[in-house]
Amino acid sequence: MTIGILYIGLLIIGVVYAVIAGALGWLADIGDGDIHVDGSGHLDAGHAHPISGTTLATFITGFGGGGTVGHYLFEWPLIGSLGLATAAGLALAAAAFGVLELIFKETQAGAEFIMEQTVGREAEVITPIPESGTGEVAYLAKGQREVGMARSADGSAIPKGRLVVVEKVVGPTLYVREKR
């Protein structure tokens, strides 16, 4: 068996793995079941792991593809084709990891947010805030409408429907002022 056959074999294995993983992922999304096939290295923290099924398969595919190009197209000796194969594998695996990290950062960030992130945001009073009392405001956080307890920062009353700006957060309570 020559090195060229090995390169082609690794390229085929990588492509077949990608097709099967993609098909299983697609099939897992059909219906209302709780099936979840995850070969991406996704961790609960919402990040891809650099050494995961996806990055390893991408490395194998890139290694096979780069080796095939170096061996058959460029007709390089073994060291040259191994170098190209390794570089191609590492480059593609790094790119796959980068794409996964970007996707997880954007989509798996979750709906959780830190209340202090609401400071400076605009909100709408949905339950009037009485003088020195507590009402409710609605605001957007992480693309979702959230509702929270609110007090006027200066103790004045704020009627329903007014736009306010969050000045500070103390525990679960937002301290707001009317938007000018």
Q: Which residues are CB-contacts of 93 (< 8 A; sequence separation ≥ 6)?
A: 55, 56, 58, 59, 62
Out of 3.30.390.30, 3.40.350.10, 3.90.1200.10, 2.40.50.140, the CATH code matching 115-178 is: 2.40.50.140
CB 134 within 8 A of CB 173: yes
Taking only the tens of pLDDT, the chain with its 180 residues reads 689 999 999 999 989 988 887 777 655 444 444 434 444 443 444 556 788 778 888 999 999 999 999 999 999 999 999 999 999 999 999 998 998 888 777 665 555 667 888 899 999 999 999 999 999 999 988 778 889 999 999 999 999 999 999 999 999 999 999 998
**How far from each other are the two terminal CA atoms of the chain, in whole angstroms?**
77
CB 39 within 8 A of CB 53: yes
The verdict on pTM exceeding 0.75 is no
